[in-house]
């Protein structure tokens, strides 16, 4: 048994290694990750952290490292968003589509041109993190200097193309004291099948800094995506992340936020809208280690056909972390009898003067509301769409307008929704 398990990882890493050279991590980090991989195995549903998500679809494939060609990013750039664009195709920086000069002035570096410092490497023991450290081909390092307010958002477009290609990317984002920045990350497929994006991002929001991140995951439904964000917040900082998941056959988001300073605000908003055989798994951790902070978590999902969603949200309030206000809510609407949601909100509180709440709801569309809308002349399909949109509306309205418009555009083409908002 041991031998067989080892072989799967070995086979997996060998396929990726073939075309791989360099990478963004220093040699010693890479070598350690490669050595750790030899000892590791892919998780199964017997592992609590992967209880509802099977990765066999990923682990049995032979992904390769491969450059890809894209003719245009026109349809992928967010319309009306005045941003500085960085594009990665199959995990490799695509300078021809990127605003290179402006980016440098904004504190954005391309990692393949300047290796990541080992201090940003986390040793989690997770196989996908190890794969990332061993095989990350590129990424960005965004460094917003003290007191700088980044005028335009940085828009990072990730594109996968080809067949059985793995994209390993690493981003490092640091917003220094009292600086302010906004980052949009989008994920697309272009003639991609069975491609796998494995992204690790470390984020540090320093004292008094503000950072807003919006993620739009809209890869085609035959592709895989695992994202891990490790965020740490220092005192008086404000961090918001909006995760909109619309595409991908298997998507897993690991969002780990450590709130390490007092008077922080943390916002996690997400909408996932699934159909066909999609499987989306959101694991979030908000770790309140110190007093006097606020966190708001709102995850909402609409699940149709045979799709499955997983929500596992943990909130820790450590001993002596008093006066914490932590709110968490996960709401789901199932549109078909075969749709599934596994929702597990978890609060672990070790302080005694806190205000925390969590809730999870799962239901169907309100048939009384459907009838009410129809009785006014609205067609049944339109009425149902409108109610679904209204359900995720309070998440979508957290997005900035151009981003929101872009999401609505995707909903229109992907799900045939007529936008009414």
Partner 1 sequence: MLKINNLHASIDGKEILKGLTLTVKPGEVHAIMGPNGAGKSTLASVLAGKDDYEISEGSVDFEGKDLLEMEPEDRAREGLFLAFQYPVEIPGVSNINFLRAALNAKREYHKMEPLSAKDFMALVREKSKIVELDAKLASRAVNEGFSGGEKKRNEIFQMAMLDPKLSILDETDSGLDIDALRIVANGVNTLKSENNATIVITHYQRLLDYIVPDFVHVLYNGKIVKSGPKELALELEEKGYDWIKAELGETV
Kindly tell me which residue out of 262, 382, 405, 409 binds partner 1, with binding defined by CB under 8 A.
Answer: 382
When asked if residue 35 is in the footprint of partner 1 (CB under 8 A), the reply is no
Helix (H), strand (E) at residue 413: helix 401-415
Kindly tell me which residue out of 137, 189, 362, 389 binds partner 1, with binding defined by CB under 8 A.
Answer: 389
Kindly tell me which residue out of 147, 372, 401, 413 binds partner 1, with binding defined by CB under 8 A.
Answer: 372
State the minimum distance, in angstroms, from the CB of residue 265 to partner 1. 24
- Report whether 234 contacts 205 (CB < 8 A): yes
Contacts with partner 1 in 349-368 (CB under 8 A)?
A: 366, 368
Nearer to partner 1, 174 or 385 (CB): 385
Kindly tell me which residue out of 15, 102, 356, 373 binds partner 1, with binding defined by CB under 8 A.
Answer: 373
Q: Could you please report the per-residue DSSP string of 69-114?
A: --S--TTTSPTT---EEEEEETTEE-GGGS-HHHHHHTTEEEGGGS
Q: How far apart are CA 53 and CA 180, in angstroms?
A: 36
Q: Specify which residues 361 forms β-bridges with.
A: 331
When asked if residue 393 is in the footprint of partner 1 (CB under 8 A), the reply is yes
Kindly tell me which residue out of 390, 401, 412, 413 binds partner 1, with binding defined by CB under 8 A.
Answer: 390
Kindly tell me which residue out of 387, 399, 407, 410 binds partner 1, with binding defined by CB under 8 A.
Answer: 387
Helix (H), strand (E) at residue 343: strand 340-349
The distance from CA 56 to its chain's CA centroid, rounded to whole angstroms, is: 21
Beta-carbon contacts of residue 118 (< 8 Å; ≥ 6 apart): 25, 26, 28, 29
When asked if residue 420 is in the footprint of partner 1 (CB under 8 A), the reply is yes
When asked if residue 46 is in the footprint of partner 1 (CB under 8 A), the reply is no
When asked if residue 386 is in the footprint of partner 1 (CB under 8 A), the reply is yes
173: three-class secondary structure by DSSP = strand
Using CB under 8 A as the binding criterion, the count of chain residues that bind partner 1 stands at 24
Which span sits near partner 1 by CB under 8 A: 49-57, 210-218, 257-265, 385-393? 385-393
Residue 298's φ and ψ, nearest 5 degrees, are -135, 110
Nearer to partner 1, 117 or 380 (CB): 380
State the minimum distance, in angstroms, from the CB of residue 397 to partner 1. 9
Q: Specify which residues 232 forms β-bridges with.
A: 204, 258
DSSP annotation of 14 reads H
Phi-psi region of 173 (alpha: psi -120 to 50; beta: other; left: phi over 0): beta
Q: Which residues contribute to the site for partner 1 (CB under 8 A)?
A: 366, 368-369, 371-380, 382-383, 386-387, 389-391, 393-394, 420-421
């Amino acid at each position: 048994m041991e031998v067989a398990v080892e072989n799967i990882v070995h086979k997996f890493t060998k396929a990726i290694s073939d075309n791989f050279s360099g990478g963004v991590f220093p040699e010693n980090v890479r070598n350690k990750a490669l050595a750790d991989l030899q000892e590791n195995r892919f998780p199964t549903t017997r592992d609590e952290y992967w209880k509802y998500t099977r990765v066999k679809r990923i682990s049995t494939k032979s992904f390769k490292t491969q450059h890809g060609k894209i003719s245009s990013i026109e349809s992928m750039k967010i319309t009306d968003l005045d941003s500085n664009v960085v594009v990665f195709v199959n995990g490799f920086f695509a300078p021809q589509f990127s605003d290179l000069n402006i980016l440098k002035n904004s504190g954005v570096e391309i990692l393949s041109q300047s290796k990541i410092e080992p201090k940003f490497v986390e040793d989690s023991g997770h196989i996908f993190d190890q794969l990332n450290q061993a095989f990350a081909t590129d990424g960005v390092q965004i460094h917003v200097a003290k007191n700088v307010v980044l005028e335009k958002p940085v828009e990072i477009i990730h594109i996968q193309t080809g067949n059985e290609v793995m994209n390993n990317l690493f981003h490092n984002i640091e917003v220094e004291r009292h600086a302010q920045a906004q980052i949009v990350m989008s994920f697309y497929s272009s003639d991609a099948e069975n491609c796998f994006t494995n992204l690790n991002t470390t984020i540090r929001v320093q004292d008094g800094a503000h950072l807003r991140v919006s993620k739009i995951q809209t890869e085609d439904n035959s592709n895989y995506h695992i994202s891990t964000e490790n965020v740490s917040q220092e005192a008086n900082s404000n961090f918001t992340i909006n995760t909109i998941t619309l595409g991908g056959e298997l998507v897993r988001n690991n969002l780990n936020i450590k709130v390490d300073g007092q008077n922080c605000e943390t916002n996690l908003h997400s909408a996932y809208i699934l159909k066909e055989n999609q499987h989306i798994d959101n694991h979030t951790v908000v770790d309140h280690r110190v007093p006097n902070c606020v966190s708001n978590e709102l995850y909402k999902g609409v699940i149709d056909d045979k799709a499955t969603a997983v929500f596992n949200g943990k909130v820790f309030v450590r001993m002596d972390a008093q006066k914490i206000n932590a709110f968490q809510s996960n709401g789901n609407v199932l549109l078909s009898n075969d749709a599934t949601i596994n929702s597990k909100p978890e609060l672990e509180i070790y302080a005694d003067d806190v205000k925390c709440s969590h809730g999870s709801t799962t239901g169907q569309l309100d048939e009384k509301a459907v009838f009410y809308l129809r009785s006014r002349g609205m067609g049944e399909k339109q009425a149902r769409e409108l109610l679904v949109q209204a359900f995720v509306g309070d998440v979508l309205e957290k997005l900035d307008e151009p981003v929101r418009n872009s999401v609505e555009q995707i909903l229109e083409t992907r799900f045939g929704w007529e936008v009414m908002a």
